[in-house]
A and B are shown apart, each in its own frame.
Chain A
Amino acid sequence: MSSERPKLGPDIPKAITGWNSRTGRVIYLTADRNWSESLSEACVMTGDEAQEALRFASTDQVRVSDPYFMQVTQDGLISGRETLRETIRARGPTNHPMFGKQGGDL
């Protein structure tokens, strides 16, 4: 059992994701330190900048719950060993095409 995510080295590009505390919807940290439901608006970071952003996110409790790093490419596409998990989070369950964001449910 683990809700802990794999460690990502400092040079690996990453985004910060979590859940909207009020609704539970999946959200991503944007460059202006807001939260977006759209992965395409996620801020891609590395190194200290990323650490600093995660510190910010962890204090932003009213807006986000359980923020963590997810691995992305430089272009902000999901990558790494948790690709399936993060794809399911970003789109919705694979067994139902209409549930989650894939169904246009926003």
Chain B
Amino acid sequence: MALLRHGRVGSCHRVFSETGFGECAARDVIVTLRSFLEDQTSPTPHREDVGIRLRPDDDPALLANNLDAVSLIEVEFPKYTDGRGYSIAQLLRRRYGYSGELRAVGQILRDQLLLMKRSGFDAVAFDHPDTEGVYAEAVGELSEVYQAAADGSISIFLRRRTDLSPGRLT
């Protein structure tokens, strides 16, 4: 499975661990929300470089106070039609101010990539013979947006103001 960061093929050596950190260094694994929260209340919590995988029914609010320890959050899309991950991403980025890597994993199809980018994902696990090309094409399909979102785009509602004309913005 290819990993794209900001549209470029990258790699990640971390492995997902259902059972928590075990003997591993934080930066080598990705743990569940539950393992992470348990670890945070343990005597020797991992305070840096933690990777977490959120299931769609996980509540990102539980992370709000410990996000400094986290450098990677994977959000799982068990099925491409399950849209909960988009809300999780918006919350993490816009409400809780998460600025680390936000990665979409699971069943991800080309035609969701734009939504993911807009919702604040900067990385996706996505396979295609021409990953980078397809990504660039897909996220470029609609160039204006009616809503502000986690990607920082400026909404058409605002763009229409004469003082924010396209020329001034770009």
Assess A/B contact in the complex (Cβ within 8 A): no
